[in-house]
Amino acid sequence: MARLALITGGTRGIGAAVAQRLDADGLRVAVTYHGNETAAQDFAAHHPIPVYKWDVTDFDACRSGIERIEAELGQGVDVLVNNAGITRDAVLHKMSVAQWREVVDDDLGACFNMCRNLIHGMRERGWGRIVNISSINALKGQFGQTNYAAAKAGVIGFTKALALESARKGITVNAIAPGYVATDMVHAMDPQVLAGIVAQIPVGRLGEPDEIAHAVSFLVDERSGYLTGATLSINGGQYMA
Ligand SMILES: NC(=O)c1ccc[n+]([C@@H]2O[C@H](COP(=O)([O-])OP(=O)(O)OC[C@H]3O[C@@H](n4cnc5c(N)ncnc54)[C@H](O)[C@@H]3O)[C@@H](O)[C@H]2O)c1
């Protein structure tokens, strides 16, 4: 039976590209979303991939959502891509407690909520692939993003620690740190700020969601079992850590 992959935030942007790529690779795929109904309806209308809705910042919702997917699809989740994320930018001296907490809960807390509820099954079956989507801004910092940079840097530490705990169980855990990728998240930025950023990218353009999906495909491949605890930068040469 084909492996089952679950992608959080998989109905648009990078997550949707990952879902389509893993589907094309021959995996069974399910996606989750929360908060953007139009994109989810559009995705469901155009792809034969089951779509589930819950808030990944809610631990119990993650547990029941995963249980429902495994029951409905008749197998355990073998591949998890923690892709859901948000930004709530503000300089620290103006950042609200809500802006801090929302980003840390969504971009970092969700990795715990999802992995904690899935890891038992992967350990029992002796096989798993987890890919956590971090960010270039975890590695280099970014003005106005103390919340996001901290959460995404936390994702990298989480990835390394869980990779150590999981290595003997056939489970790999890796992170991807994308640079600026052409999605709604980036198109929501001030166009002048974005133009200034693109000017600093050696490759001379934004990344494409498919280019991140290509790396996820590689990391979750059956033959990638010796690759764990890594953070793969995909940023057009913008930052070389
Ligand atoms: N676009 C970029 O340039 C870029 C760069 C670096 C890292 N990233 C990261 O890549 C990931 C995907 O980014 P994107 O640009 O495709 O974003 P996007 O805003 O287009 O999509 C994010 C998805 O996450 C989902 N989501 C957010 N919060 C959720 C929650 N609480 N529960 C369930 N689903 C939730 C949304 O429904 C949406 O489908 C994010 O983690 C983001 O931080 C993006």
Residues 133 and 85: beta-carbon distance below 8 Å: yes
Q: Which of 123-127, 143-147, 181-185, 213-217 has the lowest mean pLDDT?
A: 181-185
pTM over 0.75: yes
23-69 pLDDT, tens digit per residue, is: 999 999 999 999 989 999 999 999 999 999 999 999 999 999 999 99
Residues 134 and 88: beta-carbon distance below 8 Å: no
Task: Report d(CA 93, CA 12) in Å as an integer.
Answer: 32
Task: Report d(CA 192, CA 93) in Å as an integer.
Answer: 23
SS3 53: strand
61-119 pLDDT, tens digit per residue, is: 999 999 999 999 999 999 999 999 999 999 999 999 999 999 999 999 999 999 999 99
Nearest CA to ligand 1 atom 2: 181
Please tell me the predicted confidence (pLDDT) of residue 14: 98
| Beta-bridge mates of residue 31 | 7, 51
| Confidence bin at 241 (pLDDT 50/70/90) | confident
Q: What's at 163, amino acid-wise?
A: A
Task: Report d(CA 84, CA 113) in Å as an integer.
Answer: 12
**Of 33, 52, 148, 180, which is the active-site residue?**
148
Tokens, residue 75: 């197998």
* Residues in contact with ligand 1 (CB, 6 Å cut-off): 8-9, 11-15, 32-36, 55-57, 83-86, 106, 133, 135, 178, 180-181, 183-186
Task: Report d(CA 194, CA 213) in Å as an integer.
Answer: 22
What is the CATH topology of the domain spanning 4-234?
Rossmann fold (3.40.50)
Q: What is the mean pLDDT of residues 192-213?
A: 96
Please tell me the predicted confidence (pLDDT) of residue 215: 98
Nearest CA to ligand 1 atom 26: 84
Tokens, residue 173: 């855990």
Nearest CA to ligand 1 atom 43: 85
Q: Quickly count: other Cβ atoms within 10 Å of residue 55's Cβ.
A: 17
Mutation pick for ligand 1 pocket among 185, 210, 235 (CB with most ligand atoms within 8 Å):
185
Please tell me the predicted confidence (pLDDT) of residue 185: 83
Q: What is the mean pLDDT of residues 140-144?
A: 96
Mutation pick for ligand 1 pocket among 183, 201, 205, 206 (CB with most ligand atoms within 8 Å):
183
Q: What is the mean pLDDT of residues 198-216?
A: 97
In the chain, which residue ranges form alpha helices assigned H by DSSP?
13-24, 37-46, 59-73, 97-103, 110-125, 136-140, 146-166, 184-187, 191-199, 209-220
Residues 156 and 178: beta-carbon distance below 8 Å: no
Atom of ligand 1 nearest to the CA of 53: 33
Nearest CA to ligand 1 atom 23: 9
User: In the annotation, is 148 catalytic?
Assistant: yes
